[in-house]
Amino acid sequence: MNINELTAGADLYIDIERGGKLFTLKGKLLDIKNNKLDIGIVFEKAGEVRDIKETDNLYIRHIKMKKVFRFRVFSTTKKVDKNVGIFYEFDVSFQGEYFNRREAYRVCIGKEAEQASFLNGVKINDFYIKDLSILGVGFVSTRLIEVGEYIQFIFRDTCLLKLYIKVVRRENLGDKYGYGAIITKYEGDLNRYVYMKQVEEIKKMG
């Protein structure tokens, strides 16, 4: 589904990856403007999460006809309105990913790459992996990288993965850049790794 299928008043869930933990908050859609969702969020007084931070890895979830769709969040702005109080504006992907489509479903990572470089061997010292699927990866870096560049990086978690990617999207995030890339080749059991991370996230969501 895409964001134009959402309507004001819809129940949404905000998945927050922070410090290696996954938190979920419930929200109500207030308005939609140019791929931006205005959402009022309920923060539990006794909960660990009292605000949304710039460093959080975020997704917006919506359930439609018993199917779950997730929208990637590129940036978040905290706002105040005299009528509704505090709310958040989320700049999100136009298309939501169907939760059970394993190949496209991205799992939260939130780790620095062990090594990253261009194919000519020039190193990229700042390479923070936000999310990963069997098809692509989202990462953040202070380095300006041109769309179309090919990169290779090594990532170690429960296993060792070496991925070769092509940058297909770049977004200016102020003092850094957000990138989207497709995976052209990989070494290691990427399929099993993504599947196990997805199982972990499903368990955390209850």
Model confidence pLDDT, tens digit, residues 134-143:
878 999 999 9
Q: Are 136 and 38 in contact (CB under 8 A)?
A: no
What tokens appear for 206 in the block?
């209850």
| pTM for this model (two decimals) | 0.53
Chain segment 17-61, per-residue pLDDT in tens: 776 666 778 899 999 988 899 999 877 655 678 888 877 888 898
**pLDDT at residue 163, as a whole number:** 94
Burial class (CB in 10 A: 0-12, 13-18, 19+), 57: buried
Task: Give pLDDT < 50 ranges for the chain.
Answer: 101-103
**pLDDT at residue 126, as a whole number:** 93
**pLDDT at residue 101, as a whole number:** 45
**pLDDT at residue 140, as a whole number:** 94
Residue 4, φ and ψ in degrees, nearest 5: -70, -15
For residue 190, CA distances in Å to 91, 109, 128, 205 come to 29, 13, 18, 23
**pLDDT at residue 94, as a whole number:** 86
